[in-house]
Amino acid sequence: MKIDYGLALADGLGQGRVTKEALEGFHPELIEAQNWLEAKRRSQEVGFMDLPFQDLSPILQTAQEVRRKFDHFVLIGIGGSSLGAQVLFDALWNPPHNPQVYGEGPSFHILDNVDPVKTTETLEEIEPENTCFCVISKSGSTAEPMANFLVALEALEKAVGIDKARRQMVFITDPEKGNLRDLVKEEGYRALEIPPNVGGRFSVLSPVGLFPAAVLGINVRRLLKGAYQALKSCEKRDISSNPAWVITALHYLHHTLEAKSISVMMAYYEKLATFADWYRQLWAESLGKEGKGQTPVKAVGAVDQHSQIQLYNEGPRDKIITFLQVKNFPTNRRIPPLYPQKPALAYLGGHTLGELINTELAGTASALAKRGVPSMTITLPSVNEGHLGALFMIYEIATALMGHLYGINPFDQPGVEEGKRLTYGLMGRKGFQEKGKEAQEIWSKGKEGTLTIDLGD
Ligand code: PA5
């Protein structure tokens, strides 16, 4: 894996204050941030960097059993409790290309949203009696997974009775606290543990991401090995060999010196597009605090060249872009040389689609650089468990370091909580009546300016 970042430096762009010297001069700040993070790790306040060393046996044993017994697997969880597994599913488990690698596992479904149609359709697609439902919630109180859990449990109970229904569920939650843990203790549901010092969006390498991955037949040992190797690189106190430092320093310097308040991640491989969703959550929820943070944006090449690139090139100069590139695709396709007499078609003939998509990335990055828009390109030799494990670890460390540089706590999410409390109040949850009233008052103000469009029937 490599990161090319020359086009994020003033020399490559022919302009700007983020010079090679500025990058090298940032060393003391990076050392300070790294010391802070390592101290948090040593005191066990922050646990995501220790996940490569976890005991995998409970995950693997339970996953083996689920693979053997069930035809369908439904993950119920949201945000940090579902996005990591979604990345692994989209990037790696891609039939019809890989059935020989991953074997015949259960069909895979994610219920993150409380979209009534999606939940209904998912429950109609599976046969409840042959389905394992995996409910993932660190807090055990998030409205969306709790609602989907209740709906799924009812469907399951109708199909197989309550005792069997409970045995078809696996919870992944805090080892001590929360409603799911209480249910484990009271009713004997099976459960795996999320380490208390690993927050939702930093938990993909815990049972949260590893258990669903193992059910899919993905090699979770290789994922952790990739993460471990990345962790080692990210311990190097030298910017030329520490990938997290490069990402952190360039994003921070471009934000503070050049007002690049938007960070775009543009994946030139559709199966990696979900990684950009994962990044979007990690960067936004960790860093968007106290007026700080960069707005993360997901884009997909080459499709979004025909949607976003006009803006990136000639719109506000507020973006830094990370391109994700894959060297070897699992399958590739030659473009046939069918119309040699037509120059607009002839030049394509004999190349592959993979060559074209990567060349489009090069063309796009160069056009952006000509206008002074900074970018870096992360190239994966191929998309496999090891590379994904490494990417997860690098971005988690970079995010933590960014948080320290901004002077905020990257591991909490106070801005999400108030919306949750107001919703609890509106939904009539005990203890939240005052919040309900407050929400009603504010919400009703929105209706003081109303426009109604009569569309007949
Ligand atoms: O990163 C986070 O902490 C959040 O995105 C959570 O993962 C998300 O809100 C779900 O929380 P929980 O796992 O407690 O249901």
Our mutation pick for probing the ligand 1 site, out of 76, 81, 416, counting the most ligand atoms within 8 A of Cβ, is 81
| Contact in structure between 211 and 61 (CB atoms under 8 Å) | no
Asked, colleague to colleague, whether 2-37+224-406 and 49-218 share their fold, the answer is yes
The atom of ligand 1 lying closest to the CA of 80 is 7
Catalytic residue among 285, 289, 385, 387: 285
Mean pLDDT across the chain, nearest whole number?
96
Our mutation pick for probing the ligand 1 site, out of 46, 139, 204, 396, counting the most ligand atoms within 8 A of Cβ, is 139
Query: pLDDT by residue (tens digit) across 328-372?
Result: 998 999 999 999 999 999 999 999 999 999 999 999 999 999 999
- Atom 3 (ligand 1) nearest CA: 200
> What is the model's pLDDT at position 96?
46
- Rounded to an integer, what distance in angstroms lies between the CA atom of residue 433 and that of residue 386? 49
Per-residue confidence band for 417, with pLDDT thresholds at 50, 70 and 90: confident
Distance 142 CA to ligand 1 centre (A): 8
Phi and psi of 363, rounded to 5°? -65, -45
> What is the model's pLDDT at position 351?
98
285 as an active site residue: the answer is yes
Distance 194 CA to ligand 1 centre (A): 12
420 as an active site residue: the answer is yes
- Atom 13 (ligand 1) nearest CA: 137
Query: pLDDT by residue (tens digit) across 272-300?
Result: 999 999 999 999 999 999 999 999 999 99
Per-residue confidence band for 407, with pLDDT thresholds at 50, 70 and 90: very high
The atom of ligand 1 lying closest to the CA of 416 is 9
The atom of ligand 1 lying closest to the CA of 413 is 3
Per-residue confidence band for 155, with pLDDT thresholds at 50, 70 and 90: very high
> What is the model's pLDDT at position 103?
64
Distance 97 CA to ligand 1 centre (A): 32
| Contact in structure between 4 and 13 (CB atoms under 8 Å) | no
- Atom 2 (ligand 1) nearest CA: 200
Distance 80 CA to ligand 1 centre (A): 5
Per-residue confidence band for 231, with pLDDT thresholds at 50, 70 and 90: very high
**Locate tokens 């719109």: which residue?**
315
In CATH terms, the fold of domain 49-218 is Rossmann fold (3.40.50)
> What is the model's pLDDT at position 100?
55
Distance 387 CA to ligand 1 centre (A): 25
Catalytic residue among 40, 177, 236, 420: 420
Query: pLDDT by residue (tens digit) across 83-117?
Result: 999 999 999 976 544 555 666 789 999 999 999 99
> What is the model's pLDDT at position 457?
77
| pTM given for the model | 0.96
Catalytic residue among 104, 176, 186, 306: 306
Mean pLDDT computed over 3-24: 97
Q: Which residues line ligand 1 (CB under 6 A)?
A: 78-81, 137-139, 142, 145, 199-201, 285, 413
Pick the CATH number of 2-37+224-406 from 3.40.50.10490, 3.40.50.620, 3.40.50.11260, 3.40.920.10: 3.40.50.10490
Q: What are the boundaries of each domain within the chain?
A: 2-37+224-406, 49-218
Distance 248 CA to ligand 1 centre (A): 24
